Amino acid sequence: MTNTFEKEVIRIKKQESFVHNLMENYDERKNDTDGISGHRIASRLAKLAEIGLTEESGSQRIGFSKEERAAKELVKVWMHKAGLKVSEDGAGNVFGRLSAKDNSKPAILSGSHVDTVPNGGHFDGALGVVAALEVVEAWKENEYQPKKPFEVVIFSDEEGSRFNSGYIGSKGMCGKYQLDELIKLHDANGMSFEEVLASDGLTIPGFKEAKRNLNDIELFVEVHIEQGKILENENLPCGIVNGIAGPVWYELTFNGVAGHSGSTPMVGRSDALVAAGKFIHELSNLPNRVSDTAVATVGKMHIHPNGINVISGKVTLYVDIRDTDIKTRNNLITKVLRLLASIENEFSVKIDKKELINILPVKIESTIQDILSESLRGYGIRPIKLPSGAGHDAMILGEDIPVAMLFVRSENGISHSPLERSSLNDCVQTIHVLKRFIEEIMKNV
């Protein structure tokens, strides 16, 4: 009993300190206007942060895990309290729908995701969901009823940490997937896509039914942390996304020959990890040869058999390649393939290649960018436009319907890390802009 009690005390203290930390330099007089509450936003971010809290004070809520589920259930409670009609589709996407003056009109959607990368931060995803819900809270307080239906949405497994394949929820809603590819997926514990769905109370037939008629959606708008330093350098709380870089992910398997590290002379070795090491290092020099926006990263890798005194027989690694421009991205891919061929040759290792995802860059419509600019100016913020290097659910939806994105300044540009942080002032100011933008969209017929 004492133990449970002590744990509860620690939990409450951590939550209080998170809220306290956010509230410290918060300008209530300036920002707590028009029904929006900084304290409510901070408390909600804190409550989500403690689901899957890691030892390094990060968040770990992998897609379709019990932690992602717990976060969804918590947001559902808030949705209910805010008077939204809550539903969940067969991909685990959660919708909280606000009744409109004319419910026959296509809906405006806003939200993001509540899953995280392993040991990730407390803002990526969570902020976009809390932001959309805060707009509803403000409307409730202002007794404002929108002309068109509005839905707060949580998309499942955006990060792709479960299956090395992201945007599962938004792809499910848009019907943008090959079912035969999905059912071949396995997570790190060998669980199949179907087994993972089942562990979250979902099914394959249900997943197929998640596909929604996209004519019923007018627009999707997502608030997200920038995950870069442009806004910090420009000293701005938020900015307008003008395009989203499309990622290509490759799974590469380097096949060498295992052997004893003490008795196998250096000459004649076929060490998969040495070949992989050279690849990873040389890869980091390629993006700057094609553009300033191109990036290429190896963040995940498995070594086999992974023993101190064993030469690696097999290394599997994952390459993430992105650019906002399709031409320079293709140029980079060509360079990566050439590098692989030269390494195969130099180290006599065979490299198997498999493309996991390939998503086209998305352009944001200029009329939408104009309305966003007006919303920023209306709130006294100089509007700047910046590309998104990271992918988002808006990228998936953006291939079929109009999308908009607002970026919030990230401290030091850090994300996907326990150090990820945006100030509460910046978060709240962005939510004010989001609210103005949606209200403007609601006016248009």
| Interface pick for its own copies out of 45, 46, 82, 245 (rule CB under 8 A) | 245
How many residues in the shown chain lie near its own copies by CB under 8 A?
74
Among positions 112-151, residues that touch its own copies (CB under 8 A) are 117-120, 124
Between CA 185 and CA 27 the distance in angstroms is: 47
| Interface pick for its own copies out of 228, 239, 243, 361 (rule CB under 8 A) | 228
Asked if 433 touches its own copies (CB under 8 A), the answer is no
| Interface pick for its own copies out of 416, 432, 435, 436 (rule CB under 8 A) | 416
Between CA 355 and CA 382 the distance in angstroms is: 41
User: In the complex with its own copies, which residue's Cβ is closer, 369 or 388?
Assistant: 388
Among positions 372-391, residues that touch its own copies (CB under 8 A) are 388-391
**HSE-up of 236 (CA within 13 Å, CB side)?**
25
What does the chain come to in residues? Answer: 445
Asked if 417 touches its own copies (CB under 8 A), the answer is yes
| Residues in CB range of 21: below 8 A, 6 or more apart | none
Among positions 150-179, residues that touch its own copies (CB under 8 A) are 159-161, 164, 166
Between CA 373 and CA 390 the distance in angstroms is: 22
* Residue 322 three-state SS: strand
CB atoms within 10 A of CB 177: 18
- The CB-of-231 to its own copies minimum distance in angstroms stands at 11
Closest C-alpha among 154, 133, 120 to residue 36: 133
User: In the complex with its own copies, which residue's Cβ is closer, 136 or 296?
Assistant: 296
**Which string of x and - marks every residue 25-64 that binds its own copies (by CB under 8 A)?**
----------------------------------------
Among positions 348-377, residues that touch its own copies (CB under 8 A) are none
User: In the complex with its own copies, which residue's Cβ is closer, 37 or 65?
Assistant: 65
Asked if 303 touches its own copies (CB under 8 A), the answer is yes
| Interface pick for its own copies out of 295, 333, 336, 408 (rule CB under 8 A) | 295
- The CB-of-322 to its own copies minimum distance in angstroms stands at 5
Asked if 104 touches its own copies (CB under 8 A), the answer is no
| Interface pick for its own copies out of 44, 47, 76, 304 (rule CB under 8 A) | 304
Q: Which range in 82-90, 105-113, 408-416, 435-443 contacts its own copies by CB under 8 A?
A: 408-416
- The CB-of-416 to its own copies minimum distance in angstroms stands at 4
User: In the complex with its own copies, which residue's Cβ is closer, 304 or 436?
Assistant: 304
Closest C-alpha among 186, 65, 77, 149 to residue 114: 65
User: In the complex with its own copies, which residue's Cβ is closer, 217 or 332?
Assistant: 332
Closest C-alpha among 215, 171, 193, 387 to residue 294: 387
Asked if 47 and 74 touch (Cβ cutoff 8 Å), the reply is: yes
User: In the complex with its own copies, which residue's Cβ is closer, 20 or 260?
Assistant: 260
Between CA 305 and CA 111 the distance in angstroms is: 42
Cα torsion at 288, 289, 293, 294 (round to 10°)? -90
The CA-CA-CA angle for residues 352, 357, 362, to 5°, reads 145
Among positions 254-283, residues that touch its own copies (CB under 8 A) are 257-267, 269, 271, 273-274, 276-281
Among positions 308-337, residues that touch its own copies (CB under 8 A) are 308-313, 318, 320, 322
Asked if 226 touches its own copies (CB under 8 A), the answer is yes
Asked if 273 and 418 touch (Cβ cutoff 8 Å), the reply is: no
Between CA 137 and CA 153 the distance in angstroms is: 15
- The CB-of-87 to its own copies minimum distance in angstroms stands at 29
User: In the complex with its own copies, which residue's Cβ is closer, 76 or 416?
Assistant: 416
Q: Which range in 87-95, 177-185, 193-201, 223-231 contacts its own copies by CB under 8 A?
A: 223-231
User: In the complex with its own copies, which residue's Cβ is closer, 31 or 161?
Assistant: 161
